[in-house]
Amino acid sequence: MGLGAKARVWLAGPWPSPGRARAPGSTPWPRLRGQSADSRAGEAWVRPREGLPAPGEAQSGRRDRYDVGGTRMVLLMLPEDVQRLQQVDGHQPWRPPLDPWLAYRQHRGHKCGVFLLNGPEWRTNRLKLNPDVLSPQAVQKYLPMVDWVARDFSKALKSRVLQNARGSLTVDIQPSILYYTVEASNLALFGERLGLLGHSPSPASLNFLRALKAMLKSTAQLMFMPRVLSRWTSTQLWKEHFESWDYIFQYANNAIQKIYQELALSRPEHYSGIVGQLLTHADLSLEAIRANSIELTTGMHTAYPLLMTLFELARNPEVQRALRQESLGAEARISQDPQSATSELPLLRAALKETLRLYPVGMSVDRKVASDVVLQNYHIPAGVLKSFLVETLRQEDLKMTYQFVFVPSTRPLLTFRAIN
């Protein structure tokens, strides 16, 4: 017996396919008056950055010039511009700092991790983290942990469905998905379950979850206001932000200390999570491991991509049926070789990628170029920040808002029904 997801009638609508969606910037960039493409190729028709449209001016929507708080920025949308920029990007990309997070670490004297670092220190940390976090070998080790939690999540949801006399359950599933993502991430990082999927989660687990939510909420409220101003106008908000981080740091410290003590007593023969591997290899200092593990911990909240995938499958039942048939057909092979899931489930992989295209988690990817570059005949000097806009098709029936990450302004109700 499995589960099927069905959206309410008022949410019905098409899920645009990649074939029907026109890529951003698919129309050609206008040529200079009186010049053909061939004649322009041999001449230096390069315009300064200041010639780019500014906010409020007539804009093409493909590249714009911004000056935010003294920071010079160029917003790019065309894939070919991004590709050109990546060719001149160095090994040490620069991202704009997330000021509320930096303020806490500076005030408390804590080290930063890869999410907040730039330059050589970022590259050093990233290269030492990759083998235990992003490499295929590392994923193969913590994938069973994620699968364990996923099976528990499915089992708990199925139990709720079967307890209903109508054999179905209509619910706002987002809180349950958040519990699943936090539970799975915590197990993969620290090798320990929080119990969020059970009937009685521990007070410590719920307090950690509340602190995580409060920190993200206050981040969204503080990140767009200069610190020198918000410290006077938002004192209570800063207090809540610091208290939330204090709890998160204390939670991570306790978890890391527990792992460290267990490793000191005896080297376990089985895999015990990402942090355990980092401590065993000792390529990073204890402070760096703590800083990076905490920043990985804050990434546990990304439950919305899974929610939006269920929403799109619910209003596209034919795709949902095809995905189920694909999963059933590959079940035996994946059980023998879990790493084959990406190759055995191409339709599922495509559905997840399409959801992320339609509902991106973040709105831009930022870089600062180390050398001058010419994009579409505009000269972009070194040091100017580039912001790559993640563009999606408009979905009029489900408005998305920015709350540190993109989230639906009204969460859809999904109906889950037991199927044989």
Q: What is the pTM of this model?
A: 0.76
Span 110-153, pLDDT tens digits: 999 999 998 889 999 999 999 999 998 998 899 889 989 999 99
Q: Can you tell me the distance from the alpha carbon of 53 to that of 62, in angstroms, rounded to the nearest whole number?
A: 10
28-32, 335-339, 370-374: the lowest-pLDDT one: 28-32
Contact 153, 176 (CB under 8 A): yes
Q: Give the angle 403-274-301 at the CA atoms, nearest 5°.
A: 15
Q: pLDDT band for position 334 (50/70/90)?
A: confident
Size of the chain in residues:
420
Between 195 and 342, the more confident residue is 195
Q: Please, what is the angle between helix 136-162 and helix 274-281, to 10°? A: 160
Residue 245 parent element (H or E): helix 235-265
Q: Which two tokens stand for residue 288?
A: 């760096």
Which pLDDT score, from 0 to 100, does residue 12 have? 35
Between 100 and 28, the more confident residue is 100
Cβ partners under 8 Å of residue 352, min gap 6: 305, 309
4-18, 200-214, 388-402: the lowest-pLDDT one: 4-18
Three-state DSSP at 163 gives: coil
Q: Can you tell me the distance from the alpha carbon of 223 to that of 403, in angstroms, rounded to the nearest whole number?
A: 11
Residue 274 parent element (H or E): helix 274-281
Is pLDDT above 50 for 19?
no
Q: Which domains does the chain have, with CATH numbers?
A: 22-89+369-390 (no CATH), 97-302 (1.10.630.10), 304-360+393-420 (no CATH)
Contact 68, 54 (CB under 8 A): no
Q: Can you tell me the distance from the alpha carbon of 316 to that of 410, in angstroms, rounded to the nearest whole number?
A: 19
Which pLDDT score, from 0 to 100, does residue 33 have? 29
Query: Regarding beta strands 385-389 and 71-76, do their DSSP bridges make them parallel or antiparallel, or are they unpaired?
Result: parallel
Contact 278, 284 (CB under 8 A): yes
